[in-house]
Structure formats: C-alpha cells, structure tokens
Amino acid sequence: MAEGRVPPHDIEAEEAVIGSLLIDPDAILKVSTSLKAEDFLSEANRAIYHACLNLYYRNEVINQITVAHELARQDKLEQAGGAAFLSHVISNVPTSLHVEYYAQIVSNTGVMRRLITAARQIESLGYEASPDVDSCLNDAEDILFKVRGEQNLRGLVSIREVLGQYFDEAGQSTALREGAVSQILTGFTALDSFLGGLQRTDLIILAAKTSLGKTSLALNIARNTAVNQKACVALFSLEMSRDAVIQRLLSSESGVDSNRIRLGRFNEKEELRIMEASGILSEAAIYIDDSPMLRVIDIRSKARRLHFERGIDLLIIDYLQLIQGEGRNSRNETRVQEISNITRALKTLARELNVPVLALSQLSRAVESRPSHMPQLSDLRESGSIEQDADVVLFIYREDKNYSPEEWSKTHDIEREPYPRGIADIIIAKHRSGPLDQVKLRFLDRTARFANLEAEMISASQG
C-alpha cells in the first residue's frame, strides 16, 4: 500500500451493522457466520462486534445495556467510545432490515484489506530471494488462496434454494462455465452406464497389479474425454516420461504396434496412420506434466494455474504411491499416514476445482496369496484412508494373466468356456453413489488400448 493511502473501509456501514445488532438481538443470527470481528477497521466497532459475538455464544441477550456491560468487563468500554457512542449508533439506524447488506459491505472491505496484507507477504517472499523458486511460488499462491478460502465458508441453506440451484444447473444446455462439459464420460459404454460418467468433485481410484493396463486405461479415458467431448484434461505422469505417454497415445489412436512406434520401425502406410493420429491428438486439450518428484502441493498449484487459464474438466494422476510426502510432518509419520494425507488432499482438490480426480494406485502383494487373484479393497497398497476417501474404486482383473491356456482348459473344460485372451474385467469395488458390479472390456496388448466389447461385436457382424 502506498504511503498516505487509506485502506478500504466503510465506517458508516460498520456503524449500521452495530446499530442493527443493538436494536434487534436476532440480527446477529444473520451475520455471525459471514462477518468476522477483523472485518471492522474501526477499533471501537471491532470491540463492540466482538462483545456482541461473546454474548451470542453465551446465549445472552444483545442490547445496549448488556453490550456496555460486556465491554466494561473486558475493560474496553472507554476504548469503544463509552455508552454515549452506543446511543449514537442506535439513533442512526432506524431498522435492522438491511443488516445483511451492511454486513456484506463490511466483509468485502475486510477482504480487500487482507488482500493488501497478502500482497505485502508475497513482496517479502520476493525480497528474500530464496533459491527455491518453486517453493516461493507455492507459498505465494497459498497466501492468496487462503484469502479466497476464507470467503468460501458455506452456511445452512434451505432445501428450496438448493433444489432451485440444482435444477437451474441441470437445465443448462451448456456446462457450469463456458467451454466446459457437464458430464465426463470415459468412452466405455458399460462403465459409463454404471457410473453415470466420472462425477465432478469425485476422487476415483483405479488400481491393478503391475502390467495389467491401468496406465493404458487412464490414457484411453483422457483421449476419449478430450477428443470426443472437447474436455480439458490435466495428466500428471510421475512414472512415464512425456515421450512415453505420447508413444502410447499415438499407438492407441493409430492402431500401429507401440514397439514399432518406439523404435521408429514402421512402414509407409503405418506412417500415414501415425500422422493422422497425430493430427487428431494435437487438437485435444490434454496437458501433460511428467515431473517425477511431485508433492500434492505441487500438483495442486499446477492444476489450479491451468484451471484458472483453461478450466480443467478431468485431472489424472499416474500414480498415487509416487507422490512425495511433504517431509515437514512428524518424523514418526509412516508412509501409510502420508498416503492418507495425500488422498485427503486430492479429494479436497477435486471439490475445490469441481472436477473428477482419477488417481492410479498399485496393489499390495496380498492379492497374489489368494488362489483367484481377484483384487479386494484391502489390497490397495499403503491403503490407509484410500478406501475411505475415494468415491469410486475400480480394479482391473484379467484371467489370462493368471492362467495359461492349458491351466484354463483343465478348470473350465466342462463348461467349454473359451480362453479369455485380452478380456479385462473392470470391477467397481466401491461406488458411493451407485451399485457395485463389473464390466468387460477388450484389451489390445499390441496397441495398449482398451475397447468396448459391444463395439467389437457390432464391427464383426457388419464385416
């Protein structure tokens, strides 16, 4: 703040709030959750409002006499202008009808002053000239978001108002904001049928043993969402490099063997298919970060930045166990506790950005000890609160990875069941808002791509 400039304030609005509280004890119910004592610039008004809050919290009546007594008890009556000042503000407010309007003015000016304070704190960070620039930027963002976060506290709202907002939003032909999509579809018909798509604010965990295709499924979902729905996808790839991600996407899109793309050994026809796939993917709003050592605070900072610039529709993290702990907690904190903190933070981020967060996860070795190898919720590696925080948990299970054709024929000979080569069961092990079930997809190893079995059957019949 420049020298000589007065910080934002409105003394008349402050006195109008105080006067309203003194003439109408019930007025405190309308402002106590949204208006803070520090929102008042005047020390006198701040002291009086604080006294009103104290009386309210003790379930005592609020009027000129009780407030004066409370101020005297705190030895602040003279500081607040004495009984004469209380009489003055009462005489200037004929009715408490507009107390919420006055309170909003006081609250807004309080936010502006806190913004000025935040700017000073950020200025101090800059003058410190720390060599850790990323940490300073994260701290600066946290300072600003703390100011914003204080304004996001919600009070109790009538169901009439909630229903009105719900149907207003549901009835919009466009999304919640310009350019966004209202429903995030995976592109897999059976899965979308059970889940209703990926719901905003949900934390979805996709888990599987190594090499069963969880990264491929996540990339397929990213592609389907970005290409088919024109959605914006943020992908944090902690395990694979950007080049590896691009090779997978090109292989899946073009149908050219991923190894041939990786080694550059493709023929002229395949090259044309790859170039066509490149053209399709280049138009997709998929943003990739392949930083290998990320903390949740880094993911949150980068995601919020992109969300501000573009508006994210889907956030994907590959994978959960590779996220670094903050390293500033107790030395006795276990990795399980760290993962629990991470999943809670990811769930918070999903709500904060109003997007689905799809986080991939490893399974523990316990799944290997069971004859069926069928995954369970308890198999989530370093589970902690993963199961608790997740809204949806999906497992990938493949019989052809557990049984050879010979072993399969021995156990299924009577039923004459065909060997399930390339058939993947997507198990919906937890669904906070719907049924549990499992759906089948085709997995094509050569191109690391999942496909709808229904589409495959239709294609075969048409051929």
pLDDT digit string, tens, across residues 46-70: 899 989 988 888 888 889 899 999 8
- pLDDT at residue 411, rounded to an integer: 62
The number of C-alpha atoms within 13 Å of 377 and in the hemisphere containing its C-beta is 15
Asked whether the predicted pLDDT for residue 156 surpasses 80, the reply is no
Per-residue pLDDT, 128:
84
Out of 100, 141, 239, 454, pick the active-site residue. 239
Region 381-400: mean pLDDT is 80
Q: What token pair was written down for 64?
A: 């000129």
Identify the H or E element spanning 406. helix 405-412
Residue of 452, 443, 454, 390 lying closest to 214 (CA atoms): 443
Mean pLDDT computed over 296-325: 85
Q: What is the pLDDT of residue 273?
A: 87
* pLDDT for the residue 326: 65
Q: Do β-strands 314-318 and 232-237 pair in parallel, antiparallel, or remain unpaired? A: parallel
Both structure tokens of 143:
């300072």
Range 313-327 average pLDDT? 83
pLDDT per position as a tens digit, 241-253: 888 888 888 888 8
Model pLDDT, residue 105? 92
Task: Domains for the chain: give ranges and CATH numbers.
Answer: 1-156 (1.10.860.10), 189-462 (3.40.50.300)
Does the pLDDT value for residue 14 go beyond 80?
yes
Task: State yes or no: is 239 an active-site residue.
Answer: yes
Place of tokens 């994260």: 138
Mean pLDDT across the chain = 81
pLDDT (average), residues 340-344: 85
Per-residue pLDDT at 217:
93
Encode pLDDT of 231-242 as tens digits.
999 999 888 888
Q: Round to whole Å and give the CA distance between 63 and 55.
A: 10
* pLDDT of the residue at 412: 60
Closest CA to 19 of 78, 106, 114: 106
- Residue 218: per-residue pLDDT: 93
Confidence of residue 434 (pLDDT cuts 50, 70, 90): confident
Closest CA to 223 of 354, 357, 314, 309: 314
**What letter does residue 418 receive in the DSSP assignment?**
P
Where are the alpha helices (H) located in 229-267, listed in sequence order?
242-254, 258-263
Per-residue pLDDT, 93: 85
What is the bridge-based pairing of β-strands 392-397 and 423-431? antiparallel
Give the span between the Cα atoms of 6 and 387, in whole angstroms: 52
Q: Residues 248-271: what's their mean pLDDT? A: 84
pLDDT single digits (tens) 351-378: 988 999 999 988 877 776 676 678 878 7
Q: Which of 77-86, 153-162, 254-263 has the lowest mean pLDDT?
A: 153-162
Residue 315 — very low, low, confident or very high, per pLDDT cuts 50/70/90? Answer: very high
- Residue bearing the bigger pLDDT, 331 or 422: 422
pLDDT at position 310: 83
Return the SS3 of 36.
coil
Task: Say what the pLDDT of residue 327 is.
Answer: 56
Residue 405: band (very low, low, confident or very high) from pLDDT cuts 50, 70, 90: low
Q: Tell me which DSSP letter residue 198 carries.
A: B
Which pLDDT does position 446 carry in this prediction? Answer: 84
- Count of CB atoms situated within 10 Å of the CB of 174: 10
pLDDT recorded at residue 457 = 43
Q: Is pLDDT larger for residue 151 or for residue 28?
A: 28
pLDDT of residue 148: 67
Confidence class for position 222, pLDDT limits 50, 70, 90: very high
